Structure formats: structure tokens, C-alpha cells
Amino acid sequence: MEGGLQLVKKTLQSKGFPQVELSERRGAVVLEGEVQNWDDYLAAGYGAVGYGFRGVVNNITVSGLKNCFTESRPAVKDLSLDSSEFDVVIVGGGIIGCAIARELSRWDLKIALLEKEDDIAKHTSSRNNGMIHPAMAVKLGSKKHHYNLRGNRMYDQVAGELGFELEWPGSLALLTKSWQILLGPLAKRSARKKGLHGVKVFSRRKVKDLEPNIGDEQRGAFYMPESGIVAPYKVTVAYAENAIQNGARLFMNTMVQGFVMEGSRIAGVRTNRGIIQAGLVVNAAGIWSDRIAEMAGDRFFTIHPRKGVIAILDKKTRNSQKLILGRAQLNGRSHTKGGGLTPLIDGNILVGPTATETPDREDYSTSAKELQFLEENHLPLNKALKKDDFITYFAGTRACTFEEDFIVEASKYVENLVHAAGIQSPGLASAPAIAVDVTDIAVSILKKKADIKANPNFNPRRLEAPNPGKLGLEDRNRLIAANPSYGRIICRCEMVSEGEVVDAIHATLPAHSIDAIKRRARAGMGRCQGGFCTPAVLNIISREINSDITEVCKREPGSEMIVGRTKDKARAGYEN
């Protein structure tokens, strides 16, 4: 690789980074030194790609950039998991980790999934547009393409088994220039090569027939029928719950702090709740997956977060659009899907996401500028939409590597470590397929040491509470007659009953915070943003988990909603 390093050196010199020191470690090129700003850091990282190395480890420091980044860490510290033993420890409770837990639960294994937050799907898995991409915007031959195509094809079955909602509205990649329609045959050929079905080129008139509110500047579109929508956090919950029902254990507020190595093996996983003995470790740590790899001495890639800001529109806009709308990205070098307008499975329209590089992995703040960008760039795709329709907005970060491809493989240096890292868009579409492959890799490693049998009790179907809103009239009435709390609506915007909130609290994966209930049952997700239902939800949580109202949180401990009670003085005498 000596030659490779020379070439990287040359490239970086030509880009103006002669000061960057290069070395090779375990097949990856390691960059060190200092640059002026984050753009330079990124330019150097990208500049080192493509010279035959496994990956780019970008350890360049940025002058002036202090390590004062946002990162939530669990407040608890105990030994509740110390000396526990598991065949597989999965790091990360996003959609990838949860899907892997579920696929692994087909086998007779002791599985633990560790999540540093108080709930699963708190980061990238709940901060995306919920689109099951067709495998069109990905490079043929990449892992992204491989998993996107396979994952996309698996969704119908997975949705049937796990009981989450899935629709295939199809997507339009809109063209603003008439000549772009001439690229139609090329696009169709490329789609065929990539394994897509039914890709068509639509004239403006055809687009207008399908979407009467389409912006005036759109001249036509590429139509991709194999584009789906799901609620990504609900898919994650569904995977996690089925995994739990099949014997896997999920541990929240549990953060990996290091590994106990024995030679080239991980013997123990060091956490804030003690050291867990692990037969095998799966790295599904999303935006922190390079840190987990580093802890195991196997870092050969770098995650650089790419932030996406998203706005959600009022449900009353939903009828103004049927398909997923985006701008065609004819520039192959662009690293973003460009964002657009995505109908949501729950009936809203989502605007975005944007794509901006940021050094801060958990910076989910939004700014007026970003909102303005969404308003000016995405909203005009559908003329019926206006800024007044925004009911909320938020941000997420994508776990990008400099190679801009997924890493789904066994570690080359640590015997019992499997990486599912660098999973960014189209990670949601790819998750079912990635989980199957990671499971195969993991099981084949474990089989070297022991005989691994199938889980005799595995049930692919998730057992779940009823959803009155989806029942027919008679079934719904039967349900309400048996339990009137399903007839008592507490969230007026999303029509969520008390019974559904109670179910979410006592579900396989219990939801004990305002936000967790919002993600499960949608109470507080609507246009009033919890203005009306928050008091009711607080009371229901407090009653159901038998905790004082001042202990009920919006999210993790530290986010308590109520600081005290009035009239304590009067009650003190009575209650004693």
C-alpha cells in the first residue's frame, strides 16, 4: 500500500492539505494533522477515498473546534448487568440493531441489545422521512444498492409479519427542464440494470393528471412505483417487540464504554451497568459506530454526520398529494437524495430533509435559515402547501462514511465482532436485508465455537394490542364494549383513545415518557402538538406506572414535566 499512500499524499497536496500526515493501519488510510475548518476536514477525508484502502480514518483535528458537542449519556450507573452472559450483544437500538435482534432471535441464542437512550429509535431511525427508497439513487455494485434492492423487496412480508403499516404510493423524480425528459431512455435502462420494475418517464401533462397541485416549473418526471412509506420508528418498535417476544433482551440507558479484549477476541462489553460477557458483538451504533469500532481496536472508517432538517405539515394537506415528490438528482456526485415532499403513513406530509455536514453528531437543533430553505426549495413542488401548514420540525443526522457506502461485514481483526455501520440513506429500506446478512455472518462465527440450533419457539408474527382506528365498525364496538377506555379519545388531533395510551405504556417495549407514547400511539403528534392531551397523558402515565406526577418525563430522566404541586400545605395534613 506504500504506493497508495503516495497517491493519497499527492491528492491531498493538490487539494491544499500538505500538512496532513498519512499512515496505514489495518488496511485503512489514517489521516492526521490539523486543518482550519470542517469543510477542509471533509475535503481531506473525501480526497483519501479510492486508492485501494479499506477505508478512511480521518483523525485530523480542526483548529478552533472544541469538543463541546452534544451527546446524551445515560444518567444511571449501577452494576445490574455485571457478569451477565450473552451469546450476542448488539450495540445500538436503531432500526438496524432492532432488526438484527429480531433476525437473530430465530436462533436459540441469548441476545442482548444495548441502547444508551431511554427508548429505541431515538436518533436517525426516528429522524428521517420514512421512505422505502427504490434502489435507483444508489450506485450499481455498491452495498447500498445490494441491500436497498433486497430490503425493499422484503418489506411486504416483514410488514405482514410485524404488523406495521406500509404503503407503496410510488415516487416522482421531477424534472425542471424539458430536455431532461430526453434522458428518459437512459434512466429507464439504468433502472433496469439496477433491478427496478415499472420505471416510467412522464410528461408534464401526465404528472399534472396524477398530481394536480404540482409546481408550474416542473416539466415532467421519472416515475418509480417501487417507493414505499412507513413510520420508521414504528418499524423499529415492531422489530424490537418481536425480538423480545422471541426471547431477546433489550437494555435501555445502557451505554457501551469499552471492551475487555482477550487477544483478538472481545471477552466483555464494558457499560455503565457493569461488564457483560459476550460471545459476539454486533456494532449497529449508527452515528457512533466508528467509536464502537475504535473501542474494539478495529476502526477502519469514519462517521461524519450529515444533518437533515425536516418539517411536518398538518394532516389537512394530505389530500393535496398522492405520491412522493422529489427533484431528480441528475448530478451523480451529489451525496443527498435532495429531499422533497413525502406523504406520511399517518397522514401528514413531510418536507425535507435538508443535507448539511456538521461536526456535531447529536445536534438536532433547527434554525430559521434551514426552515426557510425547506419553505423555498421543497414546498413549491406542491402548490397547495404553505408555511402555515407546518406543525412541527426537527433534525436528524445521517451516519455517513467517506466511502459513502454501508459496512456490513465481520471484523477482519477481531474474531467475534460484526459491523453494520455507516448505514445512512437508504438504510430504512435496506434494514430487513442487512439484518438477515448480519445474522448469517454472526451465526457462522458462533458456529465455529458451538452448535447453534434454531429457536424452537420463534414466532415471526408480532403480538400487538388492538388499534381501534383500524378496526371495522362492529369490531370497534365490541372492543369498546369490552373496554370503554378504547372509546375515550384523549388526543383530539390524532383521535387516540385512552386504551391505546395504556397499551403503549404496558407494551412489550413499554413507553413511559410523553415522547415515547407520542411515537407509539401518536398522542400529541397532531396539530396542537400536545397542547390539549398532555395533562391527560401525564395523569395516565403516572397512574399506570404508579409514579408521582413530578417524576413523569418528556423523555429521559432530567426531562420532568411537572416541578411540583400547588396546595401542598392543605393536602399535607390530610394525607398524613
Contacts to another protein by CB under 8 A: 70, 72, 316, 364-368, 371, 388, 390-394, 473, 476-477, 480-481, 484-489, 492-493, 495, 514, 527-532, 534-535, 538-539, 549, 553-571, 573-574
Q: Which of 173, 178, 169, 182 is nearest to 221 (CA)?
A: 173
CB 46 within 8 A of CB 35: no
CB 394 within 8 A of CB 364: yes
**Cβ 431 to another protein shortest distance, Å:** 25
**Nearest CB to another protein, comparing residues 153 and 387:** 387
Q: What are the C-alpha distances in Å from 469 to residues 93, 346, 519, 533?
A: 28, 12, 16, 18
**Nearest CB to another protein, comparing residues 22 and 549:** 549
**Nearest CB to another protein, comparing residues 87 and 389:** 389
CB 58 within 8 A of CB 31: yes
**Cβ 566 to another protein shortest distance, Å:** 5
- Provide the residue count of the chain: 576
**Cβ 522 to another protein shortest distance, Å:** 15
**Cβ 239 to another protein shortest distance, Å:** 25
Q: What are the C-alpha distances in Å from 574 to residues 264, 552, 567, 569?
A: 65, 24, 12, 9
Question: Rg of the chain's alpha carbons, rounded to an integer?
Answer: 25
Give residue 209's Cα distance to chain centre. Answer: 34
Sheet containing 28-32: order of strands? 21-25, 28-32, 56-58
**Cβ 514 to another protein shortest distance, Å:** 8
CB 361 within 8 A of CB 397: yes
| Cell output for 358 | 456538521
CB 393 within 8 A of CB 310: yes
**Nearest CB to another protein, comparing residues 237 and 371:** 371
**Cβ 131 to another protein shortest distance, Å:** 22
**Cβ 391 to another protein shortest distance, Å:** 6
Q: Out of 133, 146, 304, 419, pick the active-site residue.
A: 133
**Nearest CB to another protein, comparing residues 68 and 570:** 570
CA gap 311, 318 in Å, rounded: 14
Q: What are the C-alpha distances in Å from 561 to residues 459, 501, 556?
A: 39, 18, 11
| Cell output for 154 | 422484503
Phi, psi of 220 (to 5 degrees): 170, -170
Cross-strand partners of 340:
326, 352
Q: Is 133 in the active site?
A: yes
**Cβ 499 to another protein shortest distance, Å:** 9
> Which residues are within 8 A (CB) of 440 and not within 5 positions of it... i.e. 6 or more apart?
none
**Nearest CB to another protein, comparing residues 141 and 484:** 484
CB 342 within 8 A of CB 349: yes
**Nearest CB to another protein, comparing residues 446 and 479:** 479
| Cell output for 573 | 395534613
**Nearest CB to another protein, comparing residues 43 and 489:** 489
CA gap 562, 549 in Å, rounded: 7
Q: Which string of b and e fits 74-98 if b means at least 16 CB within 10 Å?
A: beeeeeebeebebbbbbbbbbbbbb
Which of the 8 DSSP states describes residue 214?
A: B
Residues recognised as catalytic: 133
